[in-house]
Amino acid sequence: MLEAWIRIGTVRSVNPARREARIAPLPGQAHEFSGRAWLRVQRDGQAPLRCKVDGLRTGPGGLVIASFAAGVPRDTVGTMRGAVLVLAPEETTFPDNGDLRAGNLPGLAVRAADGTALGTVVEAYDSPAHPVVCVARKDGRRFLLPLTEAVLAGVDYAAGKLVVDGIEGHVVEETAEEG
Tens digits of residue pLDDT in 93-123 = 655 555 677 777 888 889 999 999 999 888 8
Is the pLDDT assigned to residue 147 strictly greater than 80?
Answer: yes
Domain boundaries in the chain? 6-91, 102-173
Entry field: residues in the chain: 179
The answer to whether domain 102-173 has CATH 3.40.50.10190 is: no
pTM above 0.75, yes or no: no
CA neighbours closer than 13 Å in the CB half-sphere of residue 24: 9
Sequential DSSP letters for 71-97? TS-HHHHHT-TT-EEEE-GGG----SS
pLDDT score for 1: 34
Tens digits of residue pLDDT in 124-136 = 888 877 888 999 8
pLDDT score for 84: 95
pLDDT score for 178: 46
Q: Which helix (H) or strand (E) holds 41?
A: strand 38-42
Is the pLDDT assigned to residue 65 strictly greater than 60?
Answer: yes
CATH number of 6-91: 2.40.30.60
Sheet holding 109-112, edge to edge: 152-156, 161-164, 109-112, 117-125, 132-136, 142-146, 172-173
Distance CA 125, CA 105 (A): 9
